Amino acid sequence: MPFTISSLVTFEEEIKKSRFQALATPVESEQEVKDFLEAYRDPTTTHQCWAWKIGHHVRFNDDGEPSGTAGRPILATIEGNELTNVLVLVNRWYGGIKLGTGGLVRAYGGCAGQCLVLAEKIELIEKTPVQFACNFGEWAIFQYELNQQQIDYQENYTANGVEVLANMQKHQIEAFALKVQDITRGREALKIIEEPQDD
Protein backbone atom coordinates (compact mmCIF):
# COMPACT_ATOMS: atom_id res chain seq x y z
CA MET A 1 0.00 0.00 0.00
CA PRO A 2 1.60 3.31 -1.04
CA PHE A 3 1.86 6.12 1.48
CA THR A 4 2.35 9.85 1.13
CA ILE A 5 2.66 12.59 3.74
CA SER A 6 -0.21 14.72 5.03
CA SER A 7 1.37 18.19 4.90
CA LEU A 8 4.54 20.26 4.59
CA VAL A 9 7.22 19.53 7.20
CA THR A 10 10.64 21.09 7.71
CA PHE A 11 13.83 20.09 9.50
CA GLU A 12 17.08 22.00 9.98
CA GLU A 13 20.52 21.01 11.18
CA GLU A 14 24.07 22.29 11.07
CA ILE A 15 26.85 20.01 9.83
CA LYS A 16 30.42 21.32 9.99
CA LYS A 17 29.26 24.96 9.82
CA SER A 18 27.01 24.33 6.80
CA ARG A 19 23.31 24.82 7.48
CA PHE A 20 20.96 22.27 5.94
CA GLN A 21 17.20 22.76 5.76
CA ALA A 22 14.87 20.07 4.40
CA LEU A 23 11.29 20.70 3.30
CA ALA A 24 9.05 17.74 2.47
CA THR A 25 5.64 18.26 0.89
CA PRO A 26 2.94 16.11 -0.72
CA VAL A 27 2.59 16.64 -4.50
CA GLU A 28 0.11 15.32 -7.07
CA SER A 29 1.69 16.46 -10.34
CA GLU A 30 4.84 17.80 -11.99
CA GLN A 31 3.15 21.21 -12.12
CA GLU A 32 2.80 21.17 -8.32
CA VAL A 33 6.51 20.29 -8.08
CA LYS A 34 7.42 23.26 -10.32
CA ASP A 35 5.15 25.61 -8.37
CA PHE A 36 6.63 24.53 -5.03
CA LEU A 37 10.25 24.84 -6.21
CA GLU A 38 9.44 28.26 -7.67
CA ALA A 39 7.77 29.40 -4.44
CA TYR A 40 10.72 28.21 -2.32
CA ARG A 41 13.51 29.45 -4.58
CA ASP A 42 16.02 31.10 -2.26
CA PRO A 43 18.95 33.07 -3.70
CA THR A 44 20.73 33.09 -0.32
CA THR A 45 21.36 29.32 -0.47
CA THR A 46 24.53 27.79 -1.90
CA HIS A 47 22.62 24.76 -3.24
CA GLN A 48 18.95 23.81 -3.51
CA CYS A 49 18.89 20.06 -4.13
CA TRP A 50 15.70 18.06 -4.46
CA ALA A 51 14.07 14.79 -5.40
CA TRP A 52 10.48 13.77 -5.97
CA LYS A 53 8.49 10.66 -6.66
CA ILE A 54 4.97 10.60 -8.09
CA GLY A 55 3.68 7.11 -8.81
CA HIS A 56 6.48 5.43 -10.77
CA HIS A 57 7.99 8.73 -11.93
CA VAL A 58 11.08 10.09 -10.18
CA ARG A 59 13.38 13.07 -10.71
CA PHE A 60 16.24 14.51 -8.69
CA ASN A 61 18.67 17.41 -8.95
CA ASP A 62 22.11 17.94 -7.39
CA ASP A 63 22.10 21.70 -8.11
CA GLY A 64 25.86 21.98 -8.50
CA GLU A 65 26.88 19.50 -5.81
CA PRO A 66 29.07 16.61 -7.07
CA SER A 67 26.96 14.19 -9.12
CA GLY A 68 25.10 11.64 -7.03
CA THR A 69 25.82 13.30 -3.65
CA ALA A 70 22.52 15.15 -3.10
CA GLY A 71 19.48 14.39 -5.26
CA ARG A 72 19.95 10.62 -5.33
CA PRO A 73 20.38 10.25 -1.52
CA ILE A 74 17.26 12.42 -1.04
CA LEU A 75 15.34 10.14 -3.43
CA ALA A 76 16.69 7.09 -1.58
CA THR A 77 15.14 8.37 1.68
CA ILE A 78 11.76 8.90 -0.02
CA GLU A 79 11.84 5.36 -1.40
CA GLY A 80 13.29 3.94 1.82
CA ASN A 81 10.26 5.32 3.68
CA GLU A 82 7.99 3.70 1.04
CA LEU A 83 6.55 7.08 0.13
CA THR A 84 5.22 8.40 -3.15
CA ASN A 85 3.67 11.70 -4.29
CA VAL A 86 6.33 13.46 -2.22
CA LEU A 87 8.85 16.20 -2.99
CA VAL A 88 11.82 16.82 -0.68
CA LEU A 89 13.88 19.98 -1.12
CA VAL A 90 17.13 20.33 0.85
CA ASN A 91 18.72 23.78 1.03
CA ARG A 92 22.36 24.19 1.95
CA TRP A 93 24.13 27.31 3.11
CA TYR A 94 27.87 26.57 2.79
CA GLY A 95 29.82 27.21 5.98
CA GLY A 96 33.36 27.03 4.64
CA ILE A 97 34.25 23.42 5.47
CA LYS A 98 34.15 20.87 2.66
CA LEU A 99 32.24 17.69 3.56
CA GLY A 100 33.61 15.39 0.82
CA THR A 101 31.36 13.14 -1.27
CA GLY A 102 30.59 10.69 1.55
CA GLY A 103 29.84 13.57 3.91
CA LEU A 104 27.52 15.19 1.38
CA VAL A 105 25.62 11.93 0.79
CA ARG A 106 25.15 11.53 4.55
CA ALA A 107 24.23 15.20 5.05
CA TYR A 108 21.62 15.41 2.27
CA GLY A 109 20.21 11.92 2.82
CA GLY A 110 20.27 12.34 6.60
CA CYS A 111 18.61 15.74 6.62
CA ALA A 112 15.88 14.53 4.20
CA GLY A 113 15.42 11.39 6.32
CA GLN A 114 15.08 13.37 9.58
CA CYS A 115 12.52 15.60 7.89
CA LEU A 116 10.44 12.62 6.69
CA VAL A 117 10.52 11.10 10.20
CA LEU A 118 8.62 14.21 11.37
CA ALA A 119 5.98 13.87 8.64
CA GLU A 120 2.64 12.22 9.26
CA LYS A 121 2.31 9.32 6.81
CA ILE A 122 -1.10 8.76 5.27
CA GLU A 123 -2.29 6.01 2.99
CA LEU A 124 -2.35 7.19 -0.60
CA ILE A 125 -5.77 6.51 -2.04
CA GLU A 126 -5.56 6.12 -5.77
CA LYS A 127 -8.10 8.13 -7.68
CA THR A 128 -9.42 7.63 -11.19
CA PRO A 129 -10.28 10.57 -13.45
CA VAL A 130 -13.86 10.39 -14.79
CA GLN A 131 -16.16 12.64 -16.76
CA PHE A 132 -19.87 13.07 -17.36
CA ALA A 133 -22.30 15.68 -18.60
CA CYS A 134 -25.73 16.79 -17.40
CA ASN A 135 -28.42 19.42 -17.95
CA PHE A 136 -28.39 22.64 -15.94
CA GLY A 137 -31.45 21.38 -14.04
CA GLU A 138 -29.66 18.18 -13.00
CA TRP A 139 -26.39 19.82 -11.96
CA ALA A 140 -27.54 20.80 -8.44
CA ILE A 141 -28.23 17.13 -7.61
CA PHE A 142 -24.81 16.04 -8.88
CA GLN A 143 -23.07 18.93 -7.16
CA TYR A 144 -24.66 17.90 -3.86
CA GLU A 145 -23.58 14.26 -4.36
CA LEU A 146 -19.99 15.20 -5.28
CA ASN A 147 -19.68 17.45 -2.23
CA GLN A 148 -21.26 14.84 0.07
CA GLN A 149 -18.70 12.25 -1.02
CA GLN A 150 -15.83 14.78 -0.92
CA ILE A 151 -14.98 14.17 -4.57
CA ASP A 152 -12.69 16.71 -6.30
CA TYR A 153 -14.30 18.03 -9.44
CA GLN A 154 -14.21 20.80 -12.03
CA GLU A 155 -17.33 21.91 -13.85
CA ASN A 156 -17.43 23.50 -17.27
CA TYR A 157 -20.61 25.24 -18.43
CA THR A 158 -21.51 24.75 -22.09
CA ALA A 159 -24.47 25.84 -24.21
CA ASN A 160 -26.15 22.46 -23.54
CA GLY A 161 -25.46 22.03 -19.85
CA VAL A 162 -22.55 21.15 -17.60
CA GLU A 163 -19.50 18.98 -18.35
CA VAL A 164 -17.83 17.62 -15.23
CA LEU A 165 -14.35 16.23 -14.66
CA ALA A 166 -13.86 14.46 -11.34
CA ASN A 167 -11.30 12.31 -9.49
CA MET A 168 -13.00 9.39 -7.80
CA GLN A 169 -11.80 6.60 -5.57
CA LYS A 170 -12.32 3.22 -7.19
CA HIS A 171 -15.13 2.20 -4.82
CA GLN A 172 -17.14 5.37 -5.67
CA ILE A 173 -17.26 4.88 -9.43
CA GLU A 174 -19.85 2.14 -9.86
CA ALA A 175 -22.53 3.74 -7.66
CA PHE A 176 -21.94 7.15 -9.21
CA ALA A 177 -22.18 5.71 -12.73
CA LEU A 178 -25.62 4.31 -11.84
CA LYS A 179 -26.62 7.69 -10.43
CA VAL A 180 -25.59 9.44 -13.67
CA GLN A 181 -27.74 7.04 -15.72
CA ASP A 182 -30.61 7.34 -13.25
CA ILE A 183 -30.70 11.14 -12.97
CA THR A 184 -30.19 11.72 -16.72
CA ARG A 185 -32.65 8.88 -17.51
CA GLY A 186 -30.01 6.97 -19.47
CA ARG A 187 -29.07 9.95 -21.64
CA GLU A 188 -25.56 10.28 -20.16
CA ALA A 189 -22.93 7.84 -18.90
CA LEU A 190 -19.95 8.18 -16.60
CA LYS A 191 -16.75 7.76 -18.62
CA ILE A 192 -13.42 6.74 -17.15
CA ILE A 193 -10.58 8.80 -18.62
CA GLU A 194 -7.75 6.49 -19.58
CA GLU A 195 -4.39 7.87 -18.53
CA PRO A 196 -1.72 7.82 -21.23
CA GLN A 197 0.66 4.97 -20.45
CA ASP A 198 4.30 5.92 -20.09
CA ASP A 199 6.83 3.23 -20.92
Q: Could you report the per-residue pLDDT of 183-195, keeping only the tens digit for each?
A: 999 999 999 887 6
Residue 196's Cα: distance from chain center in Å? 18
Bridge partners for 134 per DSSP: 162
Tens-place pLDDT, residues 166-183: 988 888 899 999 999 999
Mean pLDDT, rounded, of the chain:
93
Where residue 196 falls among pLDDT bands split at 50, 70, 90?
low
Sequence letter at residue 174: E
Alpha carbons 13 and 104: distance in angstroms, whole number: 13
Maximum average pLDDT range among 107-121, 144-158, 165-179, 183-197: 107-121
Predicted pLDDT of residue 1: 63
- The pLDDT of residue 28 is above 90: no
Alpha carbons 112 and 11: distance in angstroms, whole number: 8
Alpha carbons 184 and 64: distance in angstroms, whole number: 58
Quick check: helix, strand or coil at residue 28?
A: coil
CB 8 within 8 A of CB 130: no
